[in-house]
């Protein structure tokens, strides 16, 4: 019985190994590309969600920066130091499977210059947002308390008192899904932006037809408004 030359066997094995390495690298690249649906922009401090579904823990794993998003303690209290934008066709879940309390830091309480376009951290829904069985509030790390809003608006005599910028939730008019808020506490959001800028209400629905809001404790917002057609 004839045997294959040693050189031929070694060459064949090397080729097979090379094919396997290329295949594995190719699979890795495809997986990485498909998983890359959470992005953080450090210039505007906004996390963008383009995933079909994502959770707060998914964001933390992808961003991997405790200065942006971190768990404060074992009781599942989270601290968010950025805005979140949920893109069309995407869904963000924030519920008791990941957290008990989400504290959204107020930029004005963290040394940021007062600018309307980047005055505070905003959760902006162009897709779908599901909030269930959690507490969601603003937070000021310097006072170690909720961010307070001394602003006021009296349209009867045109008196407007500017308020310190606080985070807020905005469901945009082009939202492709609903923003459902159930069994949750939503508090200390929104502020008076002043003449021309207007109020950032705290919780605003410009879209999201068919959204469900029930069994919640919603309090100490600057305003709550719905402008759905």
Among residues of the chain, what percentage have pLDDT more than 70? 66
Question: Would you place residue 11 in the very low, low, confident or very high pLDDT band (cuts 50, 70, 90)?
Answer: low
Between 164 and 172, residue with greater pLDDT: 172
- 199's CB contacts (< 8 A; 6+ apart) are 151, 153, 190, 191, 192, 193, 222, 223
Contact 95, 57 (CB under 8 A): no
Structural domains in the chain plus CATH codes: 37-226 (2.160.20.10)
Check whether 206 has a pLDDT greater than 80. Answer: yes
- Whether 16 shows a pLDDT value over 50: the answer reads no
228 neighbors 208 (Cβ within 8 angstroms): yes
Nearest to 207 by CA among 188, 226, 185: 226
Average pLDDT in the 206-222 region?
94
Q: The tokens 């934008």 sit on which residue? A: 85
């Amino acid at each position: 019985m004839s045997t294959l030359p040693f050189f031929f066997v070694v060459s064949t094995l090397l080729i097979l190994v090379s094919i396997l390495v290329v295949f594995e690298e190719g699979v890795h690249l495809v997986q990485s590309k498909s998983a890359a649906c959470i992005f953080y922009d450090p210039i505007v401090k906004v996390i963008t969600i383009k995933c079909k579904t994502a959770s707060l823990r998914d964001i933390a794993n992808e961003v991997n920066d405790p200065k942006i998003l971190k768990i404060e303690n074992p009781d599942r209290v989270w601290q968010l130091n950025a805005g979140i934008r949920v893109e069309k066709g995407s869904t963000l879940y924030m519920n008791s499977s990941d957290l008990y309390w989400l504290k959204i830091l107020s930029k004005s309480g963290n040394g940021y210059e007062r600018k309307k376009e980047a005055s505070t951290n905003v959760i902006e829904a162009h897709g779908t947002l599901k909030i269930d069985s959690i507490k969601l509030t603003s937070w000021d790390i310097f006072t170690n308390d909720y961010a307070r809003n001394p602003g006021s608006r009296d349209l009867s005599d045109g008196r407007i008192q500017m308020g310190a910028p606080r985070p807020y939730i905005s469901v945009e008019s082009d939202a492709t899904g609903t923003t459902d808020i159930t069994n949750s506490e939503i508090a200390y959001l929104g502020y008076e932006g002043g003449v021309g800028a207007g109020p950032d209400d705290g919780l605003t629905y410009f879209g999201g037809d068919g959204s469900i809001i029930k069994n919640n404790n919603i309090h100490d917002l600057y305003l709550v408004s719905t402008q759905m057609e």
